[in-house]
């Protein structure tokens, strides 16, 4: 027996829509363009909601306390009859695996991720907040996200080839957590963001540090000499790195004489912390 939701008075079907969880709203919206429009217009706002991507073929839709839906895009459907959904004119086989986990099957999974992000973003009025870049990601998905929204909050890099991806990234916060098979070298590292972190790798040189334009910088993947940080302090006192307010680094064999050579200041132990 079918139930015609929109034959009910508007106030009643709006109440019913807002008793649905986001997963139910998503699947209901796929019934027709009218259904999509009504749910988009009348659903209650979800505070702090966001999309997080993982490589080219997975993303989560949720907020800080819960994940509403996880989408996996795969190139090869199993040898069985599957349900289908239609996204932007594309009829796609899918499986609802476990609770809130949707696996969809596309000839090109990355294109599927883009189509689904576009659909979910528009339906729930949300954006991609964080991206995790994997070794086979390339920069296409990241650039696509950057072109379609005003800001991208965080990007986590975990690939083997980093240089072009880092330079193309426009996120406010960049986290580098990647081992490389070959030493990474980036000359004239003119990169601007609010937060920059390197937790793995000794490749991040003093010159790289001095050409960054950031508010906060954390470099935990290598140790600097006291002489190198002396050069950086002089660079900073001369007007370099003008937006920098916090620098967290590791020192190799702390030597106060080398660190403060030629710098006529006194330590204020209330505001300077060395561990």
Beta strand ranges found along the chain (DSSP E): 50-54, 58-63, 66-74, 83-87, 90-97, 101-105, 128-133, 154-157, 173-176, 195-198, 216-225, 246-252
Mean local confidence (pLDDT), 78-96: 90
| Span 10-31, pLDDT tens digits | 888 899 999 999 999 999 999 8
Going by C-alpha positions, the residue among 116, 3, 147, 122 that lies closest to residue 53 is 116
pLDDT for residue 202: 75
| Span 88-128, pLDDT tens digits | 888 999 998 877 899 999 999 999 999 999 999 999 999 99
Helix (H, G, I), strand (E, B) or coil at 47: coil
Residue 267 burial class via C-beta count within 10 angstroms: exposed 0-12, middle 13-18, buried 19 and up: exposed
Distance CA 109, CA 74 (A): 6
**How far is residue 62 from each of residues 17, 27, 30, 95, measured CA to CA in Å?**
18, 15, 19, 19
Confidence of residue 77 (pLDDT cuts 50, 70, 90): confident
Provide φ and ψ at 206, rounded to 5°: -60, -40
| Span 30-52, pLDDT tens digits | 988 999 999 999 999 988 899 99
pLDDT for residue 271: 63
DSSP state of 44: P
pLDDT for residue 30: 93
pLDDT for residue 134: 81
Confidence of residue 185 (pLDDT cuts 50, 70, 90): confident
Mean local confidence (pLDDT), 207-224: 92
- Please check the confidence at residue 274 and state whether its pLDDT lies above 60: no
Relative orientation angle of helices 140-148 and 109-124, to the nearest 10 degrees: 20
Mean local confidence (pLDDT), 157-179: 78
200: tokens are: 């793995």
β-bridge pairing 83-87 and 154-157: unpaired
- Paired strand residues for 173: 154, 195
Which of 58-72, 98-112, 148-162, 185-199 is predicted least confidently? Answer: 148-162
Confidence of residue 6 (pLDDT cuts 50, 70, 90): confident
pLDDT for residue 60: 96
Tokens 């907020």 correspond to what residue?
A: 63
């Amino acid at each position: 027996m079918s139930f015609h939701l929109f034959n009910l008075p508007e106030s009643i079907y709006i109440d019913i829509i807002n008793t649905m969880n986001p997963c139910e709203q998503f699947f209901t919206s796929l019934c027709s363009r009218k259904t999509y429009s009504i749910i988009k217009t009348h659903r209650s706002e979800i505070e702090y909601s966001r999309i997080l991507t993982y490589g080219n073929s997975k993303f989560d839709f949720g907020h800080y306390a819960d994940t509403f839906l996880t989408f996996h895009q795969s190139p090869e459907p199993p040898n069985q009859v599957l349900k289908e959904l239609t996204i932007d004119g594309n009829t796609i086989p899918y499986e609802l695996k476990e609770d809130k986990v949707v696996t969809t099957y596309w000839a090109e999974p990355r294109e599927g991720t883009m189509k689904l992000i576009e659909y979910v973003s528009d339906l729930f009025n949300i954006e991609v907040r964080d991206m995790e870049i994997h070794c086979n990601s390339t920069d296409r998905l990241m650039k696509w996200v950057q072109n379609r929204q005003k800001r991208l909050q965080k990007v986590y890099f975990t690939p083997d080839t980093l240089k072009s991806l880092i330079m193309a990234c426009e996120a406010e916060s960049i986290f580098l957590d990647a081992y490389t098979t070959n030493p990474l070298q980036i000359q004239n590292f003119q990169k601007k963001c609010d937060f920059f972190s390197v937790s793995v790798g000794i490749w991040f040189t003093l010159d790289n540090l001095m050409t960054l334009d950031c508010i906060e910088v954390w470099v935990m993947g290598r140790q600097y000499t006291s002489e190198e940080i002396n050069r950086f302090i002089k660079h900073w006192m001369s007007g370099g790195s003008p937006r920098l307010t916090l620098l967290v680094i590791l020192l190799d064999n702390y030597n106060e004489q080398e660190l403060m050579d030629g710098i006529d200041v006194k330590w204020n132990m209330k505001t300077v912390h060395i561990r």
